[in-house]
Structure 1
Amino acid sequence: MSEEGEKKGWWGSTVGKLKSALAKTKSAIQESVGSEELDQAPDQVADQAPDQAPDQAALSFAPDMVSAQSQPEPESEPQPQPQPQPQPEPQPQPAVELGSEPILEPVTIQLDEPAPDRQEHAPEHVREHIQEQAPVPAPEPKSVATIPARPEKHEPQRLIAIDEDYLENLEEKLIKADIGLENAETVVNHLKARVKGENWSPHQVMEFLKGEFASILKSAPSSRVEYKPGSVNIYLIVGVNGTGKTTSIGKLCWRFKKEGKRVLMAAGDTFRAAAESQLEIWSQRAGVDIVRLEDGSDPGAVVFKAIARAREENYDCLVIDTAGRLHNKTDLMNELRKIRSVIDKHGAGLPLESLLVLDASTGQNGLQQARVFTEVCALTGVVLTKLDGTAKGGIVFSIARDLKIPVKLIGLGEQIDDLRDFEPELFVEALF
């Protein structure tokens, strides 16, 4: 399968998971613009349609009933049918020969030129044959029902006065959807300038918001995880406790291994009890190698040893785990700064990604975490986890706009393959 085909298949399952993960945020945004009717209208039409559909039994072949109920529409391109030829003498098997006559077709002749006399004057065995064939419905009947066309989901249902009250309510709902204060204010101000007192439909408002949020995500650098062939690529993974950091490392290593890369783990979390053992289990699941020292060892020493081994044995990827630490603990952040200095010194010239694992359910507090961590180790991207829970995905926009740090990976489940590339366009589509 081609790379493009694999990507489409990969994201085929991702889009569904994204839509499920962002359902709460999407619902809040729809409520803020007053667009509930957009999703309800098609269902209402569907419920009403069966009452308007005619009884199918009445559509069976009965010339007097059809002519009494409706006038037939002329067919645009009728299939050529042989005209009935008068037969001076009945053939030995008239039923077989007449069976190919148009009179047995329950659509054409009876509607345009009803001929009850033909049936009356036909031989008895022919009339019986007609009665047997009459109830057969037409293979492709023309439009006889009057069911109204189902309206498009995005068809404007009503217009909204975009006044000060509406804009204030919209800003409040966007903030509650975890979009962020500055983002909400900016988007609302842009909408106010664009509308200029006009009335818009909910669909128009949603399309405007979609464009605004897509622009915010595009303002950040590339969302691709960097990889340089022919070199040891270092991935430093940081974050607070409980964000799914170790799990994300295991998933990332499995992904690299699946892509055919040689992967080495570094168990740099020597502080938390059993953290190294947990990472070793993940290394076995992913099928990759690991460097670890005794519990309580200096994490800088682990990183130094891992870099040396990765260089000597020509590994493609070195993924470094670190101890979870709160962003407001100065001593632990200084320890992380030391790890970064070891990488800069002994891994000089090697490609480096510093990725912050962020729990999406933390909301705007995640913005403060990202701000502190990037001061210590110069973050290049974010791994957003637990989007499959009760999270609100709006924190993505705050990080992209305020810190210019892209979200590069997202966690959508507990399976080992549930760590996916972040696609800004698909994220916005799933959100709206």
Structure 2
Amino acid sequence: MVSPPPNDPSVETRQRRQFLGRLPLPERRFLADALRTETVGGILLLLAAVVALVWANAWPHSYESVLHYTVGPSAPLHLDLSLEAWAKDGLLTVFFFVAGIELKREFVAGELRTPSAALLPVVAAVCGVALPAIVFAVANSGAGGHPAGWAIPTATDIAFALGVLAVVSSHLPSALRAFLLTLAVVDDLIAILIIAIFYSSGIKFWALGLALAGLVLFWFLHRRGVHGWYLFVPLALVVWALMHESGVHATVAGVAMGLILRCHREGDEVQSPGEHIEHLVRPLSAGVAVPVFALFAAGVTISAAALKEVFTQAMPLGIVLGLLVGKTVGIYGGTWLAARFTRAELNPQLKWADLFALSTLAGIGFTVSLLISELAFPGNATLADRAKAAVLIGSLLCAVVATTLLKLRNRHYRQLCEEEDRDSDGDGIPDVYQQDDPHWSGRPSSAGG
């Protein structure tokens, strides 16, 4: 039977209904560049976490003294903060700034730009947040529970997940990596909303008003085409300081500035301003900001008694179950149901078991989970440390289970990756994008690919 031409509506219907299909070439190149940086950052993140654990357990007094060492001016914005607070409120703002740019780009040029493409990763992310929170709430519904920590197991850490993949040398097709990245971007948006709504207190409206005015000025200068880091960096610092003083978590300022940046190209631009700035700042976020935060946040005391508490007390057990069970079942189940409801067809080169393994990998909730552990239990270092220990153990369990599942299919993944990268004529364009098969014409496909 003769194949229909590329513009045939039936072909478009099949393309829209495919899930985890091959990425368009420009999107694949952008993804490769972004994930390369995140993978290096993930390895540094793993190293920082190990150093923090060794330091906190071998030399606890030294670790605590560095953690609580105070620097910064006290007036007028009360910025005499401990190094721990600077890492949590300052360095993580860089991380959330990049997350804001990623969100903006996904909405205007990425997988979230159309409702049909966005549906599956959005449903997966929402279910991957809701079910861990429910699992935690159930575990902490009785006497001795601590329901304030419900948001701790809801986050996905893309850098940590990619670091695990790099350490275990696991291949993963670009469609699965793209779905993981898009899922993490939506997850970050939900985490930002949770932090802004549930973990802001004692709002000072004069400071919040000035911070919003600074954001308006930031937007105006950017839209007018004004350039120069010497203008925007000082303005960003002022906005951050005002947001910190307002009582709204300071990282929200970073997200807001990231969302303001223009991420679509105009005229003959090779890169939009948002893409250019993300390219510059992402290495700082992945290679410095997040690992240093991990160094100051992951140092918890590990002992037989502490490990026993993780599996016998409601709060830490709820976190472990939320990450390992809630995340996996939420993401996998939500995606499967959404695909069934929309009649999306899975890429025939992949299996639903691959998505299950990816869902388990998404249970690694390191950076934002550690941040929320501190925000959920302010002034109670014991509970915060117990929650952090649970985050570390839950993330480790997810990493081990996901690695085992992915390794079972690693040979198949390697073959897919080799096919994706093969360039027989050396023209810089993989062969699969030059085939006559209209199914692989390089046009955007559905969610995750």
TM-score, normalised with respect to structure 2: 0.21
Rg (Cα) greater in structure: 1
Decide which structure has greater helix share.
Answer: 2
Decide which structure has greater strand share.
Answer: 1
Structure with greater contact order relative to length (CA < 8 Å, sep ≥ 6):
2
